[in-house]
């Protein structure tokens, strides 16, 4: 499954066409969403891919670099009111159930295995661009990040909880979901957890 979903508010026709043209080899869906009036525009890009495929095998590094330049230009055109950007990588798994059902689609159920989000809402151009450029590094290290998370959770949950997680996965729920936000002081992406009371708003 290879799909790109573009959700946007306030982008120009030329800007959306530039993104669509870049990913013309993929199945693309574009949606107009509601405004967040704190920002001039909103851009959310969802990349849906098979979980066994590395992100930069799905999207080449060349295409990614071009996308980053397009987004930089969009941000610069928005001035002080800024651009709210969200990049979402959705890893899709397929469970093969062997039963007497002749319906092949039901025997090969696609579920969301993992969802990784990068939220960038800094209105300062320098902070925004630094964060944008450093998404790539976090994506390249994402497997190690999830492996660390998995090891940590295994120490905290008992066998009953493990069974519940497996049942949730069969029912099509997200097994693992992580949101990253950019820390402009340390110049790095940090994991946002439910323990945080709120995502810090950029000034």
Whether residue 203 is contained in a domain is answered as no
Residue 97, pLDDT score:
43
User: pLDDT of 3-15, one tens digit each?
Assistant: 999 999 999 999 9
Residues in the chain with pLDDT values less than 70 = 1, 95-110, 145-175, 193-203
Please indicate, yes or no, if residue 201 is contained in any of the structural domains.
no
- Domain containing 42 equals 3-192
Consecutive H or E run containing 31 = strand 27-32
Beta bridge partners, 27, equal: 3
Query: Hey, what are 125's tokens?
Result: 């151009």
pLDDT, one tens digit per residue, over 101-147 is: 555 555 556 687 889 999 999 999 999 999 999 999 999 888 776 66
Structural domains counted in the chain = 1
Is residue 7 within 8 Å of residue 46, measured between CB atoms?
yes
Q: Is residue 69 part of a domain?
A: yes
Q: At 34, is the secondary structure helix, strand, or coil?
A: coil
């Amino acid at each position: 499954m290879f799909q790109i979903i573009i959700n946007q508010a306030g982008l120009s026709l030329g800007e959306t066409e530039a993104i669509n043209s870049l990913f013309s080899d993929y199945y693309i869906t574009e949606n107009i969403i509601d405004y967040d009036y704190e920002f001039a525009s909103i851009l959310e890009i969802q990349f849906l891919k098979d979980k066994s495929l590395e992100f930069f095998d799905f999207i080449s590094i060349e295409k990614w670099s071009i996308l980053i330049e397009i987004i930089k230009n969009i941000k610069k055109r928005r001035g002080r009111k800024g651009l709210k950007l969200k990049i979402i990588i959705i890893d899709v798994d397929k469970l093969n159930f062997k039963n007497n059902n002749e319906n092949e689609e039901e025997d090969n159920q696609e579920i969301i295995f993992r969802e990784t989000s990068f939220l960038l809402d800094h209105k300062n151009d320098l902070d925004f661009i630094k964060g944008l450029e450093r998404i790539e590094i976090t994506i390249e290290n994402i497997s190690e990040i999830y492996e660390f998370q998995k090891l940590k959770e295994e120490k905290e949950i008992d066998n009953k909880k493990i069974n519940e997680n497996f049942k949730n996965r069969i029912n099509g729920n997200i097994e693992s979901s992580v949101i990253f936000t950019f820390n402009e002081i340390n110049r790095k992406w940090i994991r946002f957890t439910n323990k945080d009371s709120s995502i810090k708003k950029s000034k």
